[in-house]
A and B are shown apart, each in its own frame.
Chain A
Amino acid sequence: MEARFITPFIQSVQNVFSTMLQLPMQIGEPRVKAGKNTGYDVSGIIGMSGDVVGSVVLSFPDDAARRVVALFAGEELGTDSPDFADAIGELVNMVAGGAKANFDGAKVSISCPSVVVGSGHLIANTSDVPVIEIPCMTDCGEVAIQIAIKTNANAPTQAASASA
């Protein structure tokens, strides 16, 4: 994966957490996630299409997810509540949307988010894209951003720039 995609996600997740949750975030060293891609207990997943394709995951341990959702939604919610999934989905939506705005003019659409709840769940990505994980630490606990995206060589604007 191209390094130019990493910084927009770091900036975006810090912006989302500080603006919507008033929650400062310390960013750890990005790393390639080797082996099977397991998430924590709660993951918000969003797809990207267009000039950049792939998926982005915001994954939380159970306790961190509950605390973050309580801050965002203004009330404590159980993980089985539809409103809990809604809140996690909106967070990953804002993180992905903010990041793609800084992809150097690439035209990218994002999907409606999905949310998975369950300890140690496996997240299947396309095999040709390495998963980069960015560990983040907040006062509510750990959060991990997992990015598995690549430039889409077949996208119309990419094809146009390649032939120009």
Chain B
Amino acid sequence: MRIMLVDDSKTMRNIQKSVLSQLGYTELEEACDGQDALSKVGAFKPDLLLVDWNMPNMDGLSFVKAYRAQDKTTPIIMVTTEAEKSRVIEAIKAGVNNYVVKPFTPDLLSQRISETLSKAGIAA
């Protein structure tokens, strides 16, 4: 299972990595913004992406729209401080499969990952 973490905060990526490694996922790639992620998805070929919203250079929503133009199926979980209902709807319309609002507990992130992979028919 290859998982890409897209977040401009290294601290947040490290927290997510810690949760994912506890779940047994170790094949991880990191990107610090949407542009960086777009440059890496071709080579890494992720099975799942965790994407922040507010990032410099290219934000998460723009990245999701650009990525969905080339890949319609790989599941994406938005992990963000953007908690308003209108934002969640905007993200889902852009192609996000699930949504985690920061701050989150490790249990909540684990649960969202499991349900997202299950819905996508991907064995965890």
Contact = CB atoms under 8 A, between A and B. Distances in A.
Contacts of B83: 97-98, 101
A35 interface: no
Interface stretch (A15-23, A58-66, A146-154): A15-23
Interface residues of A, number: 23
Contacts of B8: 112
Contact of A94 (B56, B84, B86, B102): B102
Nearest to B86: A107
B81 A98 contact: yes
A97 B56 contact: no
B62 interface: no
A39 interface: no
Nearest to B33: A112
Contacts of A87: 9, 11
Instruction: Name the prevailing secondary structure of the B interface residues.
Output: loop
Interface in A1-39: 15-16, 19-20
A110 interface: yes
A70 to B, nearest CB: 11
B82 A90 contact: no
Interface in B5-62: 8-12, 14-15, 18, 54-56
Given A73-B14, A98-B81, A101-B83, A93 B54 contact: yes
A110 B81 contact: yes
Contact of B103 (A19, A101, A112): A19
Most buried by B among A15, A74, A110, A112: A112
Interface in A67-120: 72-74, 82-83, 86-87, 89-90, 93-94, 96-98, 100-101, 107, 110, 112
Contacts of B11: 72-73, 83, 86-87, 90
